[in-house]
Amino acid sequence: MGTLELKQSLTGHRGRVWSVCWHPKGANLASCGEDKTIIIWGLEGFKWVTKMILTEGHSRTIRELAWSPCGNYIASASFDATTAVWDKKSGQFECNTTLEGHENEVKSVSWSISGQLLATCSRDKSVWVWEVNDDEYECAAVINAHTQDVKKVRWHPHDEILASASYDNTVKIFKEDAADSDWSCIATLSSHTSTVWSLSWDKIGNRIATCSDDKTVKIWREYKPENDVGVVTPNNESVWKCICTLSGYHTRTIYDIDWCKTTGLLVTACGDDIIRIFKEDSDCDPHQPNFTMVCSIDNAHAQDVNCVQWNPAIPGQLASASDDGSVKIWFYNE
């Protein structure tokens, strides 16, 4: 068993904190919540302090935020039906672009690895793909593949492939068709029996971990056409199969999951106030992997844990956000 050590508890938000996101270099952390503000945290000596507070970008709850891969922009998704893009051209982060179009609450936002594409999703059941050109944002696609509220969008770690998770219990994968530059759904991952709250790609991008209101985590694997294990791939498109289900560990809704790109560890945020860490067994069949829970912190927060994210640059460092109004910085030791 490993241990998860609390490094610091950060207070500053009023009310529920919905989301945290690390700067790609790992030295800063941004958080947002129902108080409609974004706080940027940074280290001063050994202490995390408030570096900046961004206000007046949104008129309602900020549900999620995402740093661009270059670290110069922050996109924030809000219940006010808009997505704001903040840049620091003036030296300070300022909101200079507001993306409108969704009919109601925007739930999630994600940048592609190139920084050229931005995806948003909403309660209005749609997923939008925006093209970024010199600070101009143009809607490249409105995808209406889900039948319910879309909770999460996440780009593939290397390619322009998008995954989304929904209240309709499915995850869908989208790709642009080179022939007519239309975005279409190339796979539907069905197995969860309730809302899929979040998803995370692995380092390579051929597996996805999903978490759900059904209290399970599932691991999915891509089988490309002509794969050597004989998985049939109709229409010459990849097929995604659920190769592992982690059940019996979580006692309430699992709101978030993050798959560390450096250590391969999975971390989950649960409505039972617990943060859990899972590790893949080293000698298992890649088509039937086994994951072992290596850490579980009771009362990690005083209320629901909404978001967890591994630091992309410092292996083992973790940030979490909770309904209790706090953001916490942790370190995982094996």
The answer to whether residue 23 forms part of the interface with other proteins (CB under 8 A) is no
Q: Which is nearer to other proteins, 142 or 302 (CB)?
A: 302
| Least distance in angstroms from the C-beta of 41 to other proteins | 23
Q: How far apart are the C-alpha atoms of 322 and 158, rounded to whole Å?
A: 30
The answer to whether residue 164 forms part of the interface with other proteins (CB under 8 A) is no
Q: Could you give the count of Cα atoms lying within 13 Å of 57 in the half-sphere of its Cβ?
A: 35
| Least distance in angstroms from the C-beta of 150 to other proteins | 12
| Least distance in angstroms from the C-beta of 190 to other proteins | 17
Q: Site mask, other proteins, residues 106-125, x = CB under 8 A?
A: -x---------------x--
Q: How far apart are the C-alpha atoms of 328 and 10, rounded to whole Å?
A: 6
**Residue 218 corresponds to which amino acid?**
K
Q: Which among 22-30, 99-107, 127-135, 139-147 is the span making contact with other proteins, rule CB under 8 A?
A: 99-107
The answer to whether residue 60 forms part of the interface with other proteins (CB under 8 A) is yes
The answer to whether residue 168 forms part of the interface with other proteins (CB under 8 A) is no
Two tokens, residue 24:
């790609």
How far, CA to CA in Å, does 71 sit from each of 22, 30, 86, 194? 10, 11, 11, 35
Q: Which among 84-92, 181-189, 222-230, 302-310 is the span making contact with other proteins, rule CB under 8 A?
A: 302-310
Residues near 112 by beta carbon (within 8 Å), at least 6 away in sequence: 118, 119, 155, 156, 160, 162
Q: How far apart are the C-alpha atoms of 135 and 24, rounded to whole Å?
A: 20
The answer to whether residue 96 forms part of the interface with other proteins (CB under 8 A) is no
Identify residues 237-266 at the interface with other proteins (CB under 8 A): 252-253
| Least distance in angstroms from the C-beta of 87 to other proteins | 27
Count Cβ atoms within 10 A of the Cβ of residue 283 and give its class: 0-12 exposed, 13-18 middle, 19 or more buried: exposed
Q: Which is nearer to other proteins, 59 or 262 (CB)?
A: 59
Instruction: Taking the CA atoms of 267, 293, 276 and 249 in sequence, report the sign of the dihedral they define.
Output: positive
User: Considering only residues 195, 198, 212, 320, which one is a binding residue for other proteins as defined by CB under 8 A?
Assistant: 195
Residues 56, 93 contacting (CB under 8 angstroms): no
Q: Which is nearer to other proteins, 68 or 166 (CB)?
A: 166
Q: Could you give the count of Cα atoms lying within 13 Å of 96 in the half-sphere of its Cβ?
A: 13
The answer to whether residue 61 forms part of the interface with other proteins (CB under 8 A) is yes
User: Considering only residues 303, 314, 315, 331, which one is a binding residue for other proteins as defined by CB under 8 A?
Assistant: 303
Q: How far apart are the C-alpha atoms of 178 and 180, rounded to whole Å?
A: 6
Two tokens, residue 152:
């999460």
Q: Which residues bind other proteins (CB under 8 A)?
A: 16, 34, 60-61, 63, 79, 104-105, 107, 123, 149, 151, 167, 194-195, 213, 252-253, 271-272, 302-304, 323-324
